[in-house]
Amino acid sequence: MINFQYLRADTQKKAIDALAKDASAQFIAGGTNLVDLMKKGVTSPQRIVDITHLPLKQIEKVPGYTRIGSLALNSEVAEHELIKNNHPLLSLALQAGASPQLRNMATVGGNIMQRTRCTYFYDTEMPCNKRIPGSGCGALQGYNRMHAIFGASDKCIAVHPSDMCVALVALDAKVLVSGPKGNRRIEFEDFHRLPGNDAAKDNVLQQGELITGIEIPDHPFTKNIHYLKIRDRASYAFALISVAATLDIQNNVIQDVRLAMGGVAHKPWRLPAAEEFLKGKKVSEEIFREAAKIAMNGSKAYEHNAFKLKMAPAAIIESLKIAAKLD
């Protein structure tokens, strides 16, 4: 770890200014990911700007939306009555992530900003286009059991590790951002990006932009929900595959549905074609199977993750079945 400057921002403006002027500065909140990356030498900010004293912790209902401050802790959001009642899918996804100790430190904004856990990204002796653009992708021909089956490029096949984000993309959340050029609201779906030719860039944030919160629009998805996470052990492991599924069922007909996957792409992976297929259909295992098949269009496996081509559709079916209480 090299020396760095620590700055505590007492206003949002000061925080944004500090980063806008200094490309080597980074925000820190819970630090559950950034500190690891600094210890491993993956990232070496010369200045870290502590934003934990900004008033961005609120969890509140406003007309049409639920608004969650970016500094609300993962554990607080998961346990909050408002979230448990109105957005139970988010609560489930949060509880599937990390460990209680980490959830007690990690913030919503930090969860969105966390970087891939690809081991080639973490080992500074290995090639990684995300860490050092142009150095190559270590995982492409390497050990890629945990890696992407959707939307990857030959520059990067890493996956986004978050569980929370899978639920948020399913719920059409918006990311509230404040920056040197003012405020903007980004669709969750558009926030994280695919690696393409620029694997170094995880998302569309501009230098100096700060996530201030998220908004989840009101929705009817409170009854038929499930977050399925398949992992190598029962807790404290990243997803091999995860599926957020929620249905609005009236008279056994699917009025609306949301489906998203984790552990499969460089971003939380929404399944719009499968959703479209399911809308208006009667609930049955058969149509869930069809939907899962549709969801897998365009998937591509590598040497060690071919199992995901089988596990992902199985997980979609399973998650939909549980959400629809089909058993």
Partner 1 sequence: MENKLKEPFMPPIDRVDGKLKVTGAAKYSAEYNIPQMAYGVMVGSSIAKGIILSMDTKAAENAPGVLGVITPFNIEKPAGYNIETSGNISATKKGFNVFDDKLIRFSGQPIAIVMADSYERALHAATLIKVNYKKDSFQTNLEKAIPVVKPLEGNAFKDYTRGDVNAWKTAPVKIEAEYNIPIEVHNPMELHAITVHWETPDKVLVYEKTQSLMDTQEKIMELFGLKKENVHIITKFIGGAFGSAFNVWPHAVAALIGAKQINKPLKVVLSRDQMFMNVGYRPQSIQKISIGAQPDGKITGINHEAISMTASYQEFTEGIVNVSRMLYDIPNVFTRYKIYPMDLSLPTWMRGPGETTGAYALECAIDELAHALKMDPLKLRLLNYSDTDLEKQRPYSSKYLKEAFEIGSEKIGWNDRHPEPRSMPEGDWLAGYGMGSGVFIGWRGGAQVGARFTADGKLLLQSAVTDMGPGTATAMTKLAAETFGISPDKIVFEMGDSSLPPGIMQGGSGTTSSLGTTVNNATLSLKKKLFELVKNKAVFHTETIHDVKFEDVVFENGQMMLSSDHTRKMSYSDILESAGLDNIEFIEETKGFNNVDYSTYAYAAHFVKVLVHPATGVIKMEKIVSAVDGGTIVNDKTARSQIIGGVVGGIGMALMEEGVVDNRYGRWVNNNFADYHVPVNADVPHIEALFVNKPDPILNPMGSKGIGEVAMVGFAAAVANAVFHATGKRIRALPITPDKII
Question: Distances in Å between the alpha carbon of 294 and those of 38, 159, 190, 316?
Answer: 41, 21, 22, 11
**Least distance to partner 1 from the beta carbon of 85, Å?**
26
Task: Give yes or no for residue 145 binding partner 1 (CB under 8 A).
Answer: yes
Tokens linked to 146: 């945990």
Q: Does 296 help bind partner 1 (rule: CB under 8 A)?
A: no
In the chain, the DSSP E strands lie at 5-8, 25-28, 47-50, 59-62, 65-69, 174-179, 182-187, 210-217, 224-230, 241-250, 253-262, 269-270
Least Å distance, CB 294 to partner 1, is 18
Per-residue contact track with partner 1, 40 to 69, x per CB under 8 A? -x----------------------------
Closest distance to partner 1 from the beta carbon of 234 (Å): 4
- Member of 187, 232, 285, 286 binding partner 1 (CB under 8 A): 232
Examine residue 325 and tell whether it contacts partner 1 (CB under 8 A): no
Q: Which stretch binds partner 1 (CB under 8 A): 74-82, 163-171, 265-273, 306-314?
A: 306-314
Q: Which two tokens stand for residue 92?
A: 């489930």
Q: Which residue lies nearer to partner 1 by CB, 20 or 102?
A: 102
Asked if 152 and 139 count as a contact pair (C-beta separation under 8 A), the reply is: no
Round to whole Å and give the CA distance between 155 and 187. Answer: 25
H/E segment holding residue 215: strand 210-217
Q: Which of 79, 123, 248, 256 binds partner 1 (CB under 8 A)?
A: 123
**Binding to partner 1 by residue 132, rule CB under 8 A?**
no
Interacting residues with partner 1 between 233 and 292 (CB under 8 A): 233-238, 240
Instruction: Report yes or no: 260 and 243 within 8 Å, Cβ to Cβ.
Output: yes
Cβ 69 to partner 1, closest distance in Å?
A: 28
- Our finding on whether 104 is near partner 1 (CB under 8 A) is no
* Residue 142 sits in the site that holds partner 1 (CB under 8 A): yes
Q: From 17-25, 89-97, 199-207, 229-237, give the range in contact with partner 1 by CB under 8 A.
A: 229-237
DSSP 231-261: -SSSSS---SEEEEEEEEEETTEEEEEEEEE
Q: Are 70 and 168 in contact (CB under 8 A)?
A: no
Q: Considering the complex, state which of residue 2 and residue 62 has its C-beta at the smaller distance from partner 1.
A: 2
For residues 30 and 56, the answer to whether their CB atoms sit within 8 Å is no
Using only C-alpha atoms, what is the Rg of the chain?
19
Closest CA to 57 of 44, 71, 75: 71
Helix 285-295 and helix 307-323, axial crossing angle in degrees, nearest 10 = 140
Backbone torsions φ then ψ of 52, nearest 5 degrees: -70, -10
Cα dihedral 212, 218, 219, 224, rounded to 10, equals 70
Rule CB under 8 A: say whether 6 interacts with partner 1. Answer: no
- Per CB under 8 A, contacts with partner 1 among 189-228 are 228
Q: Is 4 in the site for partner 1 (CB under 8 A)?
A: no
Stretch that binds partner 1, among 48-56, 112-120, 177-185, 198-206 (CB under 8 A): 112-120
Among 12, 104, 119, 203, binds partner 1 (CB under 8 A): 119
Residue found under tokens 């609930």: 283
> Which positions lie near partner 1, rule CB under 8 A?
1-3, 41, 117, 119-120, 122-123, 125-126, 138, 141-143, 145, 228, 230-238, 240, 307-308, 310-311, 314-315, 317-318, 327
